[in-house]
Each structure stands twice: as C-alpha cells, then as structure tokens.
Amino acid sequence: MKAIRISGIGERLTQTHIAIPIPAAGEVLVAVRAAGICHSDAHYRSGIGSLRQLPITPGHEVAGIVESVGAGVSRERVGERVCLHYLVTCGKCSYCRGNIGQFCPDVAMIGKDRDGGYAEYICVPEQNAFTLPDEIPFTHAAVMMCSFATALHALRKARFAEGESVAIFGAGGLGTAAIALSAAMGASSIIAIDNIGAKVKAARSMGAIGIDASDTDVVEAVMDSTDGRGIDVALEFVGLPITSEQAVRSLGVQGRAAMVGLASAPTPLDMYRDLIGKEREVIGVSDHLPEEIDELLALVQQGRLDIAPVISNTVPLDETAVNKVFEEFDSYSGKGIRTVITIE
C-alpha cells in the first residue's frame, strides 16, 4: 500500500510502498478515506514530542471503512463507516478505569507511537473505531478526531459555562473548531486572535470578533472588546511564549486559560500580576476523551455544529502536496485552516 512517512527528524516526508498491515486479535483494518494534516504532525517531524519509532506513518485524524477484522472481532463490522479515536490504551490501569486514558502508562498515539493515517490502510483496536453516521462525510469526521475533540476537551477543562466569553489564540484547525464549538455551546462572545490576516477574516466570517495580532496590542484589544473586564475563558492553541502570556493576561477575574498548543519554550509569568491578583487559573490540556467523540458526533447529527468551515482544502495522498502543508506549518505561513488528505 502507499504510505507517506517520517523517516528522520527534520527530513522531508517520503512516499513509500509498504505491506498492508494485518489486524491482530481485537483489531480492525480500516481503509483510510480521509486523514487530516494537523500542526502536531509537523511538530513530531521537527522533533517536538518524541517519536517512539522511525520510520513512522503520521496522521491521527482518520476516518474510513472497516476492510477486515482480526480474531475476536465481529465480522459484522466489515464495511462499517468509522472514525478513529487516536489514543490506544490498555483499558485496565487506574487511569483507563478512571476515564483518563490519555495518562495510561501504555498509551500509544496513532501517527506518533504507532502507524497513522497518511496511508491507504491502518490497523487499530476495534474499540478505537467509532461508528460514523452516514450523513457525516469522512473529511468532517477526520477533523473531528483531533481539532474538534481537543477543542471540546479544552472548553471542558476550562469549565466553560453557557453565557461566558471565550478568547481563542490561534485561528487554525483547533482554533476554528473552538469558534464553532463555543458558538454551539452558547458563548456570549467569541474573540479570535491570529497574526495571519486571512485567518482573522475566516474567524470573522464564522461570527467571531477577529483581532489581527500583527498590528494590534492583543491584550489591550481583548480588554477593549470586554469593556475592560477581561475574558472568562482563553484557549491557547499556538504554543508560543508570547501567545501563552497574552492568553493569561487577557483573562478577567477568575478567568481560566487552557493551554493546548505544544510549547517549545518557557513562558515567563509574574505570579502576582498575572495570576494571584485576579485568581486566574492556567490549565494544561492533553488530548481528549472517547466520550467527547460521541458528544461531537451527536452535536453534528443534531445540526448544532457545522464542521465544514474548518476544512479549507483537500489533497490526495501525495508526497509533494503533503510536504507543502508541513512547510507552511513550520513557517507559520499557511493561509488555509485545515487540509485533509482524501483517498477515493
């Protein structure tokens, strides 16, 4: 089968032919129909978030059709449309039993610790394959598996409540998903901050107040938009020290900043000025929970959440096209929101 893989840290992705994997006991083999290209994939290629093996097939936003099943899995699943939860866990440890499987000592992420979706086929445990309703396209399901699921988890971790205001730092895949979700969940106002004009414009077209960080004092602009009170919930999706600091300093009294972007450098915070004096909170957000996938599928089925605005482009499973998206991520120059690899 065709696969686009990371062969070495910092190297261009390479297109290769490898054997179609054989599903082990309890696993399903899925013919990939859509795989989102996430900024994290470019981070893994650069060496941020260490990869457990090389070469590896990246891709953790995956949807497709069950092609075959391993021992112990019902044959009835063959032909089922599915989307894949990207964390494979033991299911038995205290973290798994406590429904926080992302901290399982044996956790393996598809596309990082085991082969992911930039390929024609992928194997996962059958419990990772969620039934995808017919009315949800594969491309939509793919981006729900990371961008939307993680944005939902961030809102939950920040204890977002209906009627609160939300500021979103970074209007890329996750940020745009967060705009759509915050609106669906009843945010009183949504501010989106990015330094790329096209992304600010896209955020505005989704109903957010757009702030262009390239020509504005971001914290001042957020304060102006909230009558000087500051924001209730800030979601940080960029991972740069500057945006992390802005997220915290934009908060109002008892505001919560959920940090999601994979940071590559420390953020200087003044404990009194930035946190204590206003009882602000900084919250780390890692991945998401399987139950949040069910919640998202339900929101889309009920017509409350539209995934389409997040997908800006589709490309075939092709080395040149995928490398171009990675280059845009590395230079933070991409004008699109989320590119999805599609396989007919």
* Residue ranges binding Zn ion (CB under 5 A): 38, 40, 89-90, 93, 96, 104, 146
| Least distance CB 339 / Zn ion (angstroms) | 12
**DSSP label at residue 197:** H
| Least distance CB 336 / Zn ion (angstroms) | 15
Specify whether the CB–CB gap between 269 and 275 falls below 8 A.
Answer: yes
Q: How far apart are the first and last CA of the chain?
A: 14
∠ CA(339), CA(62), CA(12), 5° rounding?
Answer: 55
Q: What are phi and psi of 228, to 5 degrees?
A: 80, 0
| Least distance CB 107 / Zn ion (angstroms) | 7
Choice between 89 and 250, CB closer to Zn ion: 89
Choice between 93 and 315, CB closer to Zn ion: 93
Choice between 58 and 230, CB closer to Zn ion: 58
| Least distance CB 104 / Zn ion (angstroms) | 3
Residue in the block written with tokens 């997220």 = 247
Q: How far is CA 112 from the centre of its chain?
A: 14
| Least distance CB 89 / Zn ion (angstroms) | 5
Choice between 68 and 89, CB closer to Zn ion: 89
Choice between 27 and 287, CB closer to Zn ion: 287
CA distance 48 to 237: 15
| Least distance CB 60 / Zn ion (angstroms) | 6
CA-closest candidate to residue 101, choices 305, 255, 288? 288
Three-class secondary structure assignment of 55-80? CECCCCEEEEEEEEECCCCCHHHCCC
Choice between 96 and 325, CB closer to Zn ion: 96
- Token couple for 41: 């994939």
Choice between 96 and 152, CB closer to Zn ion: 96
Per residue in 221-235, is it b (16+ CB within 10 Å) or e — as a string?
Answer: bbbebbeeebbbbbb
CA distance 3 to 11: 16
